[in-house]
Amino acid sequence: MPLAEQRALIALSLVPGVGAGRMRALLAAFGTASEVMTASKKALAEVPDIGAHTASAIAGFDDYGAVDAQLVQAEQVGARMLTAWDADYPLALRQIYDPPAFLWMRGTLAPVDQHSLAIVGTRRATEYGRRQAEEFAAELVRQGITIVSGLAYGIDAAAHHGAVQAGGRTLAVLGSGVDRIYPAKHTRLATDIMTQGALLSEYPLGAEPDATNFPKRNRIISGLSLGTLVVEAFEKGGALITARLALEHNREVFAVPSPIHSKPGRGANRLIQQGHAKLVLSVEDILDELGLVAEAPVPGEASTPPPDLNEVEQKLYAAIGPNPIHIEPICATTGLDASTALVYLLSLEFKGLIRQMAGKQFYRV
Query: Which contacts of 50-57 are long-range, i.e. CB under 8 A and separated by 24 or more positions?
Result: 50/22, 50/25, 50/26, 53/17, 54/15, 54/17, 54/18, 54/22, 57/15, 57/16, 57/17, 57/18
Please write the tens of the pLDDT for every residue from 70-101.
Answer: 999 999 999 999 998 888 999 999 999 889 99
User: Which has more confidence, 297 or 209?
Assistant: 209
| 24-42 b/e (C-beta count within 10 Å ≥ 16 → b) | ebbbebbebbbebbebebe
Same domain, 200 and 319: no
Among 214, 228, 8, which residue's Cα sits nearest to residue 101?
Answer: 8
- pLDDT score, position 87: 85
Average pLDDT over residues 55-79: 96
Same domain, 262 and 143: yes
> Per residue, what are the HEC states of 248-277?
HCCCEEEECCCCCCCCCCHHHHHHHHCCCC
Helices then strands, each counted (H, E), the chain: 17, 12
- pLDDT score, position 23: 92
Amino acid identity of 278? K
- pLDDT score, position 302: 46
Q: 325 lies in a domain?
A: yes
Same domain, 274 and 319: no
- pLDDT score, position 295: 58
Q: What is the CATH number of the domain that holds 207?
A: 3.40.50.450
- pLDDT score, position 297: 45
Same domain, 136 and 190: yes
Please write the tens of the pLDDT for every residue from 18-27.
Answer: 988 899 999 9
Please write the tens of the pLDDT for every residue from 220-270.
Answer: 999 999 999 999 999 988 899 999 999 999 999 999 999 999 999 999 999
- Tell me, yes or no, if the pTM score tops 0.85: no
Same domain, 265 and 342: no
Please write the tens of the pLDDT for every residue from 309-350.
Answer: 888 988 899 888 776 788 888 988 888 988 899 989 988 888
Same domain, 39 and 115: no
Stretch (H or E) spanning 56: helix 51-59
Q: 328 lies in a domain?
A: yes
Q: 61 lies in a domain?
A: yes
Same domain, 221 and 347: no
- pLDDT score, position 352: 81
Distances (CA, A) of 5 to 12, 92, 99, 178: 10, 25, 19, 21
Please write the tens of the pLDDT for every residue from 113-144.
Answer: 999 999 999 999 999 999 999 999 999 999 99
Same domain, 244 and 119: yes
Q: 88 lies in a domain?
A: no
Stretch (H or E) spanning 35: helix 33-37
Give the domain range for residue 351.
Answer: 311-364
Same domain, 172 and 233: yes
Same domain, 206 and 68: no
Amino acid identity of 253? V
Among 203, 190, 111, 206, which residue's Cα sits nearest to residue 156?
Answer: 190
Same domain, 147 and 254: yes
Q: Residue 8: is its pLDDT beyond 70?
A: yes
Q: What is the CATH number of the domain that holds 334?
A: 1.10.10.10
Q: 112 lies in a domain?
A: yes
Please write the tens of the pLDDT for every residue from 272-307.
Answer: 999 999 999 999 999 999 988 665 444 444 456 677
Domain count for the chain: 3
- pLDDT score, position 322: 75
Q: What is the CATH number of the domain that holds 72?
A: 1.10.150.20
Same domain, 286 and 318: no
